[in-house]
Amino acid sequence: MLRKLLIGVAVIATLVAGVGTARLVLPRSDPTGGVVKQLTFLRAEIEGGADHAAQKQFPEGYFFLNVLYGLTWVQVGLADPERSVDAATEARWALNRLESPDGTAVFDAALRPRYGIFHAGWTNWLRGGLIALQHSDAAEFDEFTSSSVEIATAFRTAKTPYLEAYPGQAWPVDSAVAIASLRLYDDLVAPRFGRIATNWVAAVKTKLDRGTGLIPHQVAPVTTGARASSQSIIQRFLVEIDPVFSRAQYEIFRDRFVGGIGVREYPKGVAGTGDVDSGPLILGVSLSATVVTMGAARVQHDPLADRLGREGDLLGLPISGLKTKRYMFGALPIGDAFLAWSASARPIVAGDQPELDRGSGWWRGPWLLVLWLPALILWCLVRFRRRRRPRRAH
């Protein structure tokens, strides 16, 4: 009985190793990881209240789940024009939720721009994405214009390049998203805010984190050094603002934060603890930053994106059906939203960046060892027990 049990477990371990090896080695037939299936899953989850549940987990949970759903549809529609009508419908649905009382509840309407730069920037980027799909009406163009003017005015009159997301609190990443939305306006509608964006980049270059040379994580009420949970998003949007500056920043980020497995929340050589921004850290690695970095790598034309995507397929336990796909059994829809947004990431304003060095496939070695070692040990035990099995007396 023991030998039969060992054989059964060895067979399962071999199958797991084989599937894992295929995900690491074989060409990916669906490079975006079944994003449309993920969106189908996410739509049902949001309608079931997943965005309200996410709000209880961190301050912008409701907002992020809806905005990422809409932005992912924008990316899908831009990549596949046949889906552009559906993409515009779904992006509009998400935008309406962001502008609803539930979408603005945690933000301060007295800030400038209204509801703070976090809400204003991400919402305006989604508005621009909807315009980019070319299925918008005059009212949506007017709203995109008025919102862009409000954001530009706030930057023009501010004494700092980093505006407040909440009263007395500012994170540079939020301002980066907002400036990118102004670049998107100039690209889609008419050149109008180029000077604002140029001045913003110039000001940012004078306020970089001295320890890394990157944009800081937070600047009010205190200034903190660069961290991957914000850097991964900054690198996703900075390419739309200034591709040359973006590539220089991305290469520093990649060197200081990307390790053997995943993306560290703090620069190499710096210790720190997890918080609401990073989520729990595993050996210093932030899972959320790792997922979002996949999107940053895609817009930077970095082969790292393929590696992170394969590792996500290996560790994320994806379940794909005829119509839906989810990771980690669908237990954390906000995680699926970040994955879908990152897996389908594409620049809208910027052209294709030069491809970074592809490097070697050495990173697969440790994963293949982890996958096949248990199966090898189990088959060795099966063979060992077979040899020790006593012969029957005649």
Report pLDDT for 373. Answer: 93
Asked whether the beta carbons of 265 and 289 are under 8 A apart, the reply is: yes
- The H-assigned helical ranges of 158-242 are 172-188, 194-205, 228-241
Report pLDDT for 381. Answer: 85
Sign of CA dihedral 140, 143, 148, 149: positive
- The contacts of residue 125 (CB under 8 Å, 6+ apart) are 71, 177, 178, 180, 181, 184, 237
Report pLDDT for 236. Answer: 97
In whole angstroms, give the CA distance from residue 121 to residue 2. 61
Residue 311: closest CA among 365, 367, 255, 258 = 367
Report pLDDT for 2. Answer: 74
Asked whether the beta carbons of 242 and 350 are under 8 A apart, the reply is: no
Element (H, E) at 326: strand 325-326
Query: pTM of the prediction?
Result: 0.93
Per-residue pLDDT of the chain (394 residues; tens, 9 = 90+): 777 888 888 899 999 989 989 888 888 766 565 899 999 999 999 999 999 999 998 889 999 999 999 999 999 999 999 999 999 999 999 999 999 999 999 999 999 999 999 999 999 999 999 999 999 999 999 999 999 999 999 999 999 999 999 999 999 999 999 999 999 999 999 999 999 999 999 999 999 999 999 999 999 999 999 999 999 999 999 999 999 999 999 999 999 999 878 999 999 999 999 998 999 999 999 999 999 999 999 999 999 999 999 999 998 989 999 999 999 999 999 999 999 999 999 999 998 888 898 777 788 888 889 999 998 998 888 888 766 655 555 5
Report pLDDT for 252. Answer: 98
Return the beta strands (E) in the chain as ranges.
281-282, 285-286, 319-320, 325-326
**In terms of residues, how long is the chain?**
394
Asked whether the beta carbons of 196 and 187 are under 8 A apart, the reply is: no
In whole angstroms, give the CA distance from residue 196 to residue 154. 10
Peptide bond into 347 cis (omega under 30): no
Report pLDDT for 25. Answer: 87
